[in-house]
């Protein structure tokens, strides 16, 4: 992620393609000084509407981070090395469904799902292979994992330490955002309250032992993918953010100890201007909430840092090349909105997992925006646009209205239990679909300009023997490990789960003993219970 560079910039000057020098940042010529400072502020100044750093991409470009993972650890390791070789600057790990839900690859429910939508990880052995030959002191890693986030993080820490990289030096992110799972993404396992306890344990552990790691990525991405509007994405994500801050405070942490490690993750959808406004609004609201509601004094606590992914749900199976153009616009919106890192979707993702050529093209899209387009050469180039500033104010108001409604329901968890978010999202998603079908919303290549030949795209097929190979390795690990050490460590996990000791320590012991993800999650399932969704339409 971009860092404050003390005002140092990538180059001594930034000049347009026609030879015109660009200032670092443009501000109104005759500004209403008071309003400008209150609503916008210069980049790097509260309330950070224009960006969290004074130099933004003139100092350091965003992290180009392509989400990837499929098959076995070997398959994904090869993809990561390929991406790093192509100029990617950070890793982002996608896990398969059994891993996301904490089942081993040989569990009956895992059949047919192993390695399909992400990489299968059962034990530390898989994690060792996954990062083989990748220097974890230099590469930052983001892991999209929620219910079992603490366990996968523990595996990562152990792998890093085996590489000789101590835990205080690792950089990266675990998604660990369980609240949005109940709202939208639905890969929950435990009920909300014990889940939040696990989150609090990772916060406490992180602030003590792994200060460079982002212990949460508060995600609007999936809320949007589930069909929410821009305002809903913004409001529900920031409401979750407030809930996590409260969770940390309730666990006895000082807000300025953990708030600087909170990071966010937004969607960049098709509506170019509205999306840029959304990112700017997010920063402004968060800064105000942190300072005014939570009394944070560290400026870093007030800076909303975020990763962006272009909208998967905007991709079409019809005329898939059009997706390149959509993704380009969405990526541009994210950059103009001041993102710290970015994933660009590949053109074939409405059809299958992305193939290598398509991923390279998606990465090249970011590189062209960064290095050729010039938009990275001045900070917040669209700041001050009448349209954009109005949209920003409107989104702020809509978010505030949602905050009020959520507060009236008693907060985020009661509102989840009442199905409030789920219903709002389901309604929005149905409205959207009806508008598309009524052709009130255009989807080029689908409901208009649909004529054209079907393209030939090389789809990635996950090797059908993946499941078999993965199960074989899992069983070998179970055979070769020290069974007593596993049992002992699982007992420690159970004791910590029943009590209030930080779970991270027994989890580190358990993964180190090669206890499987399913075994550890099994203990936690017994202790915490399982969450069942509400039927909400």
C-alpha to C-alpha distances, 137 to 131, 159, 504, nearest whole angstrom: 12, 11, 21
Q: How far is the CB of 436 from other proteins (least distance, A)?
A: 9
DSSP symbol at 297? -
In whole angstroms, give the CA distance from residue 353 to residue 460.
6
Q: Minimal distance in Å, beta carbon 53 to other proteins? A: 35
Tell me the Ramachandran region of residue 293: left when phi exceeds 0, alpha when psi lies from -120 to 50, beta otherwise.
alpha
Question: 500, 527 in Cβ contact below 8 A?
Answer: no
Residues 279 and 438: their CA atoms lie apart, in Å, by 29
Nearest-5° Cα angle at 338, 336 to 344? 75
* Secondary-structure percent of the chain, ordered helix, strand, coil, rounded to 5: 50, 10, 40
CA–centroid distance for 408 within its chain = 28
Interatomic CA distance for residues 190 and 185, integer angstroms: 14
**Long-range contacts formed by 486-495: CB under 8 A, 24+ apart:** 486/510, 486/513, 486/514, 486/515, 486/519, 488/513, 489/513, 489/515, 490/515, 490/519, 490/520, 490/523, 493/520, 493/523, 493/524, 494/523, 494/526, 494/527
Q: Any idea which residue has 């399909």 for tokens?
A: 116
The token pair that represents 535 in the structure block: 């039927």
Hey, what are 222's tokens?
């999936």
**Residue (293 or 405) nearer to other proteins, CB:** 405
- Alpha-carbon distance 382 to 15, whole Å? 18
Please return the burial class of 210, using the count of CB atoms within 10 Å of its CB with bins 0-12, 13-18 and 19+.
buried
Distance between CA 257 and CA 248 in Å, rounded? 9
DSSP code at position 192: H
List interacting residues with other proteins (CB under 8 A): 97-98, 100-101, 103, 109-113, 116-117, 185-187, 191, 225-227, 313, 316-318, 350-352, 418, 426, 429-430, 433-434, 437, 443, 446, 459, 462, 529, 532-537
142 strand-pairing partners: 92, 173
Q: Please state the separation of Cα 249 from the chain's center in Å.
A: 23
| Closest CB to other proteins among residues 386, 537 | 537
C-beta neighbour count of 256 within 10 angstroms = 18
Q: Of 219 and 378, which has the nearer Cβ to other proteins?
A: 219
Q: Which is nearer to other proteins, 158 or 428 (CB)?
A: 428
Q: Nearer to other proteins by C-beta: 27 or 446?
A: 446
d(CA 310, CA 345): 6
Element (H, E) at 306: strand 306-310
Tokens standing for residue 219: 């995600």
Kindly state the smallest distance separating residue 102's Cβ from other proteins, in Å.
10
Task: State the minimum distance, in angstroms, from the CB of residue 174 to other proteins.
Answer: 18
Q: Judge contact between 363 and 87, C-beta under 8 A.
A: yes
Tell me which DSSP letter residue 352 carries: S
Q: How far is the CB of 434 from other proteins (least distance, A)?
A: 8
């Amino acid at each position: 992620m971009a860092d404050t560079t003390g005002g140092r910039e990538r180059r001594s000057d930034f000049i347009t393609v026609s030879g015109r020098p660009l200032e670092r940042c443009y501000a109104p010529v005759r500004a209403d000084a008071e309003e400008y400072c209150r609503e916008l502020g210069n980049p790097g100044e509260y309330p950070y509407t224009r960006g969290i750093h004074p130099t933004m991409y003139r100092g350091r470009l965003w992290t180009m981070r392509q989400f990837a993972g499929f098959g076995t650890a070997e398959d994904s390791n090869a993809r990561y090395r390929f991406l790093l070789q192509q100029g990617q600057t950070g890793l982002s790990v996608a896990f398969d469904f059994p891993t996301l839900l904490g089942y081993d690859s040989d569990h009956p429910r895992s059949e047919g799902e192993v390695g399909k939508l992400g990489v299968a990880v059962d034990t530390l052995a898989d994690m060792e292979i996954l990062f083989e030959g990748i220097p974890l002191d230099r590469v930052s890693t983001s892991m999209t994992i929620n219910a079992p986030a603490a366990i996968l993080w523990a595996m990562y820490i152990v792998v890093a330490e085996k590489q000789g990289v101590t835990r205080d030096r690792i950089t990266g992110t675990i998604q660990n955002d369980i609240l949005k799972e109940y709202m939208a993404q639905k890969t929950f396992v435990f009920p909300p309250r014990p889940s939040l306890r696990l989150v609090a344990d990772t916060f406490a552990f992180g602030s003590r032992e792994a200060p460079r790691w982002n212990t949460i990525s508060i995600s609007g991405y999936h809320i949007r993918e589930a069909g929410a509007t821009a305002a809903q994405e913004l409001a529900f994500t920031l409401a979750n953010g407030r809930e996590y801050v409260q969770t940390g405070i309730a666990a006895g942490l000082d807000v300025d100890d953990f708030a600087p490690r909170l990071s966010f993750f937004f969607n960049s959808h098709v509506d170019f201007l509205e999306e840029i406004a959304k990112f700017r609004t997010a920063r402004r609201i968060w800064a105000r909430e942190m300072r005014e509601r939570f009394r944070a004094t560290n400026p870093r606590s007030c800076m909303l840092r975020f990763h962006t992914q272009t909208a998967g749900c905007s991709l079409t199976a019809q005329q898939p090349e059009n997706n390149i153009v959509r993704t380009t616009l969405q990526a541009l919106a994210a950059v103009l909105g001041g993102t710290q890192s970015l994933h660009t979707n590949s053109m074939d993702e409405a059809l299958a997992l992305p193939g290598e050529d398509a991923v390279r093209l998606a990465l090249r899209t970011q590189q062209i925006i960064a290095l050729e387009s010039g938009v990275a050469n001045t900070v917040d180039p669209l700041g001050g646009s009448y349209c954009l500033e109005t949209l920003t104010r409107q989104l702020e108001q809509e978010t505030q209205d949602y905050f009020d409604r959520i507060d009236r329901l008693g907060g985020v968890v009661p509102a989840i239990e009442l199905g409030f978010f789920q219903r709002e999202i389901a309604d929005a998603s149905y409205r959207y679909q009806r508008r598309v079908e009524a052709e009130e919303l255009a989807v080029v290549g689908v409901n208009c300009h649909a004529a054209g030949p079907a393209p030939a795209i090389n789809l990635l097929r996950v090797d059908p023997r993946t499941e078999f190979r993965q199960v074989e390795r899992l069983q070998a690990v179970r055979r070769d490990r020290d069974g007593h050490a596993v049992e002992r460590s699982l007992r420690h996990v159970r004791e910590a789960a029943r009590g209030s000791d930080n779970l991270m320590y027994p989890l580190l012991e358990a993964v180190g003993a090669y206890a499987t993800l399913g075994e550890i999650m099994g203990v936690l399932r017994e202790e915490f219970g399982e969450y069942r969704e509400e039927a909400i339409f």
